[in-house]
Amino acid sequence: MQVPNFFKKLSIGYMVDVVKAAALRFPLSFLCATGLTVTSVLEMHKVDTFPDDILARMMLFMAQGAVLALGVQLFAESRKWPLLKSILCALPLLGILAASVFVPDHFSAMQVFLSAAIFLLLLFAPFAGRRVGEDAVWGFNYLSALAVIFGGVSTMILCLGMSAIFASIKYLFEVDISSNVFADIWIIGWEFFFPVYVLAGIPQDPDREGEACTTPVGVSFIANYLMAPMMLVYTAILYAYGLKIIVQWSLPRGNLAYMVTGFGGVGALTHLAVYPMRLSGTWMLRLFYKYFYFLLLGPLSLLAVGIWTRITEYGVTEQRYAIVLCLIWLTFLSALHLARRAQMHIKYVPMVLAVLVLIASAGPWSAASVSLNSQYARLQSGLRLAGVLTEDGSIQKTDRNVPFETRKEISSILEFLRERDALPHLRSWVEPVRAGLGEKYIKQEDIFACKTRRASRCYQDYDLPRNIMSAWGMAYVDHWDRDGKETTNLYVNAPSAIRGDNRIIRIAPYAYMVSFYVYKGHDNKDNPSTLQLKGLSAPALAPFEKMTAQLSNDNRLTVKADTGAEAVFDLAHLATWAEETRTREMPIGQADKLQLTPVTGNLIAEFRVESFNAGLGEMDGKQPIRPWRILNVRGDLLFSLPTPAGGK
């Protein structure tokens, strides 16, 4: 019986031949894939060979290096270079790539753009710098795509089959098989066998393999009756929207940029995919292929207006930078297609984009540098408006009532910088107000020094932007706060607090202390919380069994022992303070607000607030309850029971 060719390729003998062929033809890519697999397996088994930061960089370098070495090898093969020459050519480029990964302090947009450029290199590497027919380019990429698809399907079958085998052995024979074994199967499958399958399937001679340019029936159906009609309909929608903008004389909506770039990217990819059917396809496909880049000019005009408006209002970010790159790429292709149609070779489509993203990956013109400089300029302007940055360049705590929108803009910029580990650039604007940052920062030599870096990202001081805003004399504004009035939840920390574990202990001058948390929530119901006190069970030491703590809608906390002794604390001033300031930490100078004495009751007590949530409640889940109220509170109750009448 004849074994089907596909299943024959899943045999052990074929796998060995595939690994051997990939290793001999693409040795550097093979070594990178092997190193990536070994590193991932060691990490899965918690073998701490390298620090997390170095490990993440190694894995990124090996993934990028495998693709870069493949591109260089394809370039060398198209020129009939010997293997040794191609390796010597690739080594300096791999060295530059290693520097881009290991030298920077942390990962940034550079790695994203550089990775995109490296992957795009594969689409035109065999044809760069030499004359070649469009059929050859299309055929090579088509066969390479089939290699990727086959590699993915084969890897999935292999991993599922091996997992099923081990799972059956574990179940039927009651063998203790660690879950790490199953993880190893999938790691080895996707990080070793998948790239090896792909390497083995790449055409040997791109010029010869690309001579016959045919498409399967299924692909032809999708291109003729799905992709081309949908692209034409979407084009009509974008033009109709453009007409609406002109009639209403309004600016394009913010998300239009993503819609147009997605349309342009998918359209360019579809334009490449339908190349073999450009003369034999349906009338809609032929229309799409002939006029796509001409029809793209209208949506690109909308994109230019929309992205310019966003950048003018909110500055440059890496995402907006990428959109501008797509705009330049698509505009260039449209202009070249219209002006010099005969010179519009399909290899230019990925080549131009690769050059643009490579330029965007590093240097003062890179996405990361341009974005940071743009946000620094916005921050400087905002601080001047707020009165923090004076005309002579000095920093001071503002005494102005800074508008909500200005505070929100400054807060969002600080978060932008924190996410990119760029807050140290503000050192000269923060050091003059260091004392206002809070107690934990005063004694630090460098408040921006990262002590908790993991995987090339600093995870400490998530609250630093809030503290910086407070030091500048402004309340921090969360990104979801739309108008400064509708914040529904604000969590406030005390500068310092005594912590407990629900166990009563003796503490002078009071008899006992207990730590507890009372949750009120957003509804309009009183939810008492009963505390079971542990420890002092002897009646002589604790002449009661339990206490209740109840937080009411009028911001009153009632604590009551089963003996009848109780104390009522008023928390209304905390809700008012939270609504007015909108900050997440009580300044050390106002800590006395968190030390409460009873407004009524016979329990000798003091309640020290550790943290609380304040915000708008909801009446029956519909209309918000105003003004703000305490939704829940955590703290320490220090108390003594009242002396019974006639007692000592």
| pLDDT of res. 149 | 92
Q: Is the pLDDT of residue 428 over 60?
A: yes
Q: Which of 615, 573, 567, 614 is nearest to 594 (CA)?
A: 573
Contact yes or no for 457/106 (Cβ under 8 A): yes
Residues in the chain: 648
Residue whose token pair is 């303070």 = 577
Per-chain mean pLDDT for the chain? 84
Instruction: Kindly state the DSSP code that residue 548 receives in the 8-state scheme.
Output: E
Q: What does the pLDDT look like over 232-257, one tens digit per residue? A: 999 999 999 888 888 887 777 667 88
Q: Average pLDDT in the 191-202 region?
A: 93
pLDDT level of residue 89 (50, 70, 90 thresholds): very high
Comparing 436 with 637, which gets the higher pLDDT? 637
Q: What are phi and psi of 547, to 5 degrees?
A: -135, 160
Tokens coding 444: 């630090």
List Cβ neighbours of 597 (8 Å cut-off, separation of 6 or more).
569, 605, 606, 607
Q: Average pLDDT in the 307-315 region?
A: 91
Q: Average pLDDT in the 401-412 region?
A: 91
Side chain identity at 616, as an amino acid letter? Answer: L
| pLDDT of res. 81 | 94
| pLDDT of res. 648 | 43
| pLDDT of res. 7 | 56
Q: DSSP string of 593-612?
A: GGEE--SEES-EEEEEEEEE
Q: Is the pLDDT of residue 573 over 70?
A: yes
Q: Is the pLDDT of residue 1 over 50?
A: no
pLDDT level of residue 318 (50, 70, 90 thresholds): very high
Strand partners for 608: 595, 636
| pLDDT of res. 646 | 47
| pLDDT of res. 334 | 93
E strand or H helix that includes residue 518? strand 510-519
Q: What does the pLDDT look like over 465-518, one tens digit per residue? A: 988 998 898 888 887 766 555 445 566 666 543 334 455 555 777 888 888 888
Percent of the chain at pLDDT exceeding 90: 44
pTM of the model: 0.76
Q: Is the pLDDT of residue 349 over 90?
A: yes
Q: What are phi and psi of 318, to 5 degrees?
A: -60, -35
| Cα–Cα distance, 143 to 128 (Å, whole number) | 18
Q: Is the pLDDT of residue 190 over 60?
A: yes
pLDDT level of residue 411 (50, 70, 90 thresholds): very high
Q: Is the pLDDT of residue 46 over 50?
A: yes
List Cβ neighbours of 376 (8 Å cut-off, separation of 6 or more).
425
Q: Average pLDDT in the 378-393 region?
A: 92
Q: What are phi and psi of 534, to 5 degrees?
A: -110, 160
pLDDT level of residue 132 (50, 70, 90 thresholds): confident
C-beta pairs of 529-538 under 8 Å, 24+ apart in sequence: 531/502, 532/502, 533/502, 533/503, 533/504, 534/502, 534/503, 534/504, 535/503, 535/504, 535/505, 536/504, 536/512
Contact yes or no for 36/59 (Cβ under 8 A): yes
Q: Average pLDDT in the 30-35 region?
A: 96
Q: Is the pLDDT of residue 264 over 70?
A: yes
Q: Average pLDDT in the 47-65 region?
A: 87
Q: Average pLDDT in the 160-171 region?
A: 92
Angle at 39 between CA 150 and CA 100, to 5 degrees: 90
Q: Which of 374, 635, 621 is nearest to 521 (CA)?
A: 621
Least confident of 36-40, 52-56, 227-231: 52-56
Q: How far is CA 303 from CA 296, 309, 357, in A?
A: 11, 10, 19
Q: Average pLDDT in the 391-403 region?
A: 88
Tokens coding 484: 């400064």
Q: Is the pLDDT of residue 414 over 60?
A: yes
| Cα–Cα distance, 466 to 438 (Å, whole number) | 11
Q: Average pLDDT in the 621-644 region?
A: 76
R_g of the chain computed on alpha carbons: 33
Q: Average pLDDT in the 622-638 region?
A: 78
Least confident of 144-153, 296-305, 491-500, 612-621: 491-500
Q: Is the pLDDT of residue 319 over 90?
A: yes
| pLDDT of res. 160 | 94
pLDDT level of residue 24 (50, 70, 90 thresholds): very high
Q: What does the pLDDT look like over 276-305, one tens digit per residue? A: 898 888 999 999 999 999 999 999 998 998
Q: How far is CA 474 from CA 383, 411, 433, 446, 461, in A?
A: 10, 10, 12, 23, 18
Q: DSSP string of 387-453?
A: TSB-TTS-B----S---HHHHHHHHHHHHHHHHTT-GGGGHHHHGGGGGGG-HHHHT-S-TT--S-E
Strand partners for 609: 635
Contact yes or no for 516/497 (Cβ under 8 A): no
Q: Is the pLDDT of residue 532 over 90?
A: no
Least confident of 315-329, 436-450, 529-543, 628-642: 529-543
